[in-house]
Amino acid sequence: MKNNQRNQTVLYARGTLIDGHNRHEICTRLGLAFSVISKEFDSREDATEWIINNQFGRRNLSDYQRGILALRMKPIYEARAKVAMLEGKNQYSPSEKSHEGTAPIRTDEAVASLASISSNTIRKIEQIDATAAPEVKALAAAGEVSINLAAQFVALPVEAQQEAMAAIAADGCRDPLVMWGASGFEIQ
């Protein structure tokens, strides 16, 4: 850690640790010195946005993980869109600037853009996150199943999802037609 300043940096906003939780814990436990940088934000939403953008820049994330991370920004984008709407602005308002300094866009498009995926994919990820069995989510996060395949599984009962994901994890079978044919799963 000594040679990498980034690994020694812990950021605080108004006394709250916002980045470097693991570095802080390790350095504290081992009695290692670390530098602390104070970072101020105009709002909690701005701090959340910084944290999420920082994670995108530092992590090797699957598309599913990127989507889940970007979906944490959805309430913030929705609140900003509501304020803009009350001010008479929408995604079609010419030359108006949003919080990010770009023309206002649809919330789902903003979230998808943040994750560098399509708005259709972000909707699938949102559906998976809301209704899929934990096993489906785990394999999607690990990249073991595609977002499209995971989205198809949400139509199945939870027990069938779990059984299918166990088969995928055990056999590496990623073809839903082969798996459903062999196991008798059907999507209605």
Q: What is residue 155's predicted lDDT score, i.e. its pLDDT? A: 85
Q: What is residue 73's predicted lDDT score, i.e. its pLDDT? A: 92
Those residues with Cβ within 8 angstroms of residue 72's Cβ, 6 or more apart along the chain or in another chain: 48, 52
Q: What is the DSSP secondary-structure string of 68-95?
A: HHHHTTHHHHHHHHHHHHHTT--TT-TT
Contact 162, 135 (CB under 8 A): yes
Q: What is the pLDDT along the chain (188 residues), one digit of tens a residue?
A: 444 444 556 677 777 888 888 888 888 899 888 888 888 888 888 888 888 888 888 768 889 999 999 999 999 888 888 887 777 766 565 544 445 544 556 888 889 999 999 999 999 999 999 999 898 898 889 888 889 988 988 888 888 888 887 877 777 665 554 444 444 444 43
Q: What is residue 178's predicted lDDT score, i.e. its pLDDT? A: 45
The CA distance from 10 to 26, in Å, is 12
What values do phi and psi take at 184, rounded to 5? 80, 15
- Collapsing DSSP states into helix, strand and coil, what is residue 161? helix
Q: What is residue 95's predicted lDDT score, i.e. its pLDDT? A: 47
Q: E-assigned strands of 16-171?
A: 16-19, 35-38
Q: What is residue 90's predicted lDDT score, i.e. its pLDDT? A: 61
pTM: 0.71
Give the rounded distance of the alpha carbon of 82 from its chain centre: 22
| DSSP type of residue 11 | E
Q: How many residues does the chain have?
A: 188
The CA distance from 38 to 98, in Å, is 27
Q: Domain extents for the chain? A: 1-40, 44-124, 132-188
